Structure 1
Amino acid sequence: MWSVSQGEGITVAVVDSGVDPSVPELRGQVLQGADVSHAPAGAHTDSEGHGTEMAALIAGTGADGGLRGLAPRTKILPVRAKAAAGDAQDALMGRALRYAVEHGARVINVSMGGTGSGPDQFPRTQEAVNYALAKGSLVFAGVGNDGDKGNPVEFPAALPGVVGVGAVDKASTVTKFSNWGKQVALAAPGEEIPGRCRQSAGWCAQRGTSPATAIASASAALIWSAHPNWTNNQVLRVLMDTAGKPTTGTVPSKYIGYGTIRPRKVLLDSEGDPGPPDINPLLPAAQSPKPSTPQAPNDTTSAANPEPTRAEEDNTTLWLGLGIAAAIAAAAAAAAYAVRRRKSDRHTPDHNSTPTTHTHTYSRGEPDHVGHPENQ
């Protein structure tokens, strides 16, 4: 696939815990970005390491034995959206998405989310999603890692217009932990994905809908780079059209949506019908915002916190077909998976304690792997 596209000319926003641009594989890959939270520490501060890991899966260059991502010539726009006590989650995500759009991100990766009472609880986030779609961007979000623990609906993945991403293993089977339901639009590999070990040197295997979302975002970047005149609707449509469909049941499947992403079908086999430029394939035609081309990113944008007023707050075959095995080979060559993380990686930043409050967690968990019983 890299002979056709490596993501040139595409900016991917990573809305997360921040991105550390000093790790070898991300040197020169990370724009200035911003910290939109109320306890700003800077977009390049990442105490959890989660945002850095997602950025590396997307745009890592493999430099100095580091991770090589799926779209190594994209640029990363870090948008730190770490929640703080008393910070309204809806307003926080709304600000993050708007900042990403206004600073040239065609693809917005949100490997985080939280539960809530329903879409009506997130009006600012929904408005920002609509704004992103109208400006020609795509928003990918992990559906969550509690499919075997009550399967709560998480946001923003469940909001209309957001591409909710589930996780599959090397056998193209949805993982037990991947949340399921009508919010799942697509699926991507979410098992045995390399990342930096947290408590030791070297590489560790990770799992979750977080890395699956990063791989989906990188796939969109590859396709968009090869077809720069396509709109966001057309990029999404070919991703859906060329996805590996469920072997049983109806489409969309409640486990993997329209299927597992296969960007090589677009890049190497020239498959997929982009269709009409102005109709979002996930939304009724009447609700499809008219897309326009986003502004080019500005590398000199100030990273100062855009503080709002308080008033604003009121399968193996799949993996080989995807090309991900080649994309992450640099990490495997740099260090074997000598240490395997088996603890939970669902970091929960400070958040409101009210049960109905939208509480952000990172959509990367590492429960013991068991394939989903319905084997979609």
Structure 2
Amino acid sequence: MKFKIQSDVIDIQSVAPIQVIDWGVNLIQAPQMWSITKGEGIRVAILDTGIDATHPDLAANYKKGMNFTTNNFTDIMDRKGHGTHCAGIIAGCDNSIGIIGVAPKAELYIAKVLADDGSGLVEAIVKGIDWAISEQVDIISMSLGSSNDPGPVLHDAIKRAHEAGIIIVAATGNKNTHVGWPASYDEVIAVGAINRNLDRATFSNFGSETDVAAPGVDIYSTYPVNRYAKLSGTSMATPMVAGVIALILAYYRDIGKKLTPNQIMQLIREHSVDLGEKGVDDMFGNGLVNVCELMKIS
């Protein structure tokens, strides 16, 4: 069984523009938090296709990486573009060029669990999760999925991370059908995608397992090598949520509190912005993630 990335490339640009804030980052109101925290000290593990670790919008926040797809453990270079794009959404640097991520001072830990074709085996993902646990990360972001249940090996690894106090977010999937795995697991925050009109993205999977929605259409972020690109997918919505959680964790850590995965889930249930049918629904879960609502600031 193979897991695959959950995105499509829309546009690639080779020139770094004057710094912009993506529409999705604005929609979830991340900029309103930056005067309070930018996610300093929060460790986010991205399990994906690797990273362009020397990208000018990522290099300062990249801390460590490991390749679990080959015997060349130090080769974390992203030759697909997907992992680099997700990394920029979470923690693109605030440095006057390119883009700004949701949590522009969060720390990036990269587990390359998907090969250069964008697919990967459950064994690599499990190793990546266990590595993230050993690195004592705060959040695991997985913009990957399978439409088939991979069995207990992956779920057991997810449980280990959950019990270690790590918040896990994953993409619901892009096939306009039932939520895939690992997003379906109870220990995982399952993220669907919306567009600029706050409609469910036509590709976004749905079902009772959906926890929250975030922007995932035409998202502008970092791309190899030293480039930028627009991508669409639940893969883009997932790091939006990971970035929001990084901001929340950093804020509470600064006042001496450490939130558990269950407490984060409770915040999402109680303070997301309702979309679609009133209350929790299969299309948007608890609604749009919004950092100001979650923090009750404006």
**Which TM bucket (shorter chain)?**
0.7 to 0.9
The match for 1:169 is: 195
Which structure 2 segments of 5+ residues have no match?
1-32
Query: Is 1:265–2:293 an aligned residue pair?
Result: yes
Instruction: Indicate the residue corresponding to 1:351 in structure 2.
Output: none
Q: Which residue identity does 1:220 align to in structure 2?
A: I
**Are 2:241 and 1:216 aligned?**
yes
Please give the per-residue CA displacement for 1:285-319, whole angstroms capped at 9, x wherever unaligned.
Answer: xxxxxxxxxxxxxxxxxxxxxxxxxxxxxxxxxxx
The structure with the greater share of residues assigned to strand is: 2
**Does structure 2 retain, via aligned residues, the 8 Å contact 1:37–1:84?**
no
1:231-273 alpha-carbon deviations (Å, 9 max, x no partner): 2221221122110113425x4311111111011123352xxxx
Answer yes or no: is 1:113 the counterpart of 2:145: yes
The one-letter amino acid of 1:214's match is: P
Partner of 1:133: 162
For the pair shown, which has the larger CA radius of gyration, 1 or 2?
Answer: 1
Q: Are residues 1:190 and 2:216 paired?
A: yes
TM-score w.r.t. the length of structure 2 is: 0.81
- Residues of 2 paired with 1:28 and 1:198: CA distance? 16
Quick check: 1:145 aligned with 2:174?
A: yes
TM-superposed deviation, 1:193:
1.1
Question: Alignment partner of 1:233: what SS?
Answer: helix
CA distance in structure 2 between the partners assigned to 1:128 and 1:71 by the alignment: 26
Question: TM-score, normalised on structure 1?
Answer: 0.65
1:6 match: secondary structure: coil
Identical aligned residues as a percent:
26
CA drift at 1:88: 8.1
Q: Distance in 1 between matches of 2:264 and 2:47?
A: 21
**Counterpart contact for 1:114–1:156, Cα < 8 Å:** yes
Q: Distance in 2 between matches of 1:2 and 1:43?
A: 33
Q: Quick check: 2:174–2:203 contact (8 Å CA) kept in 1?
A: yes
Deviations along 1:171-216, one digit per CA (max 9) or x if unpaired, are 22111110111221111011221035779x9644321101100100
2:74 to 38, 42, 55: 42
Paired with 1:198 and 1:33, the residues of 2 have a C-alpha distance of 16
Distance in 1, matches of 2:40 and 2:222, equals 25
CA–CA separation in structure 1 for the residues paired with 2:181 and 2:274: 25
Instruction: Give how far 1:159 is off.
Output: 2.0
Determine which of 267, 280, 292 is the counterpart of 1:238. 267
Q: Which amino acid aligns with 2:102?
A: L
- What SS does the corresponding residue of 2:108 show, helix, strand or coil? strand
Decide whether aligned partners of structure 1 residues 73 and 43 sit closer, same or farther in structure 2, where only a CA change above 3 A counts.
farther
**What's the offset of the Cα at 1:28?**
1.9
8 A Cα contact 1:25 1:64, kept in partner = no
| Pairing 1:205–2:212 present | no
Give matches, 1:88-107, under 5 Å: 89-107=121-139
In angstroms, what is the RMSD of aligned CA positions? Answer: 2.4
User: Does residue 253 of the first structure (1) align with residue 281 of the second (2)?
Assistant: yes
Q: How does 1:353-364 map to 2 (within 5 A)?
A: none
Q: Which residue type is aligned with residue 223 of structure 1?
A: I
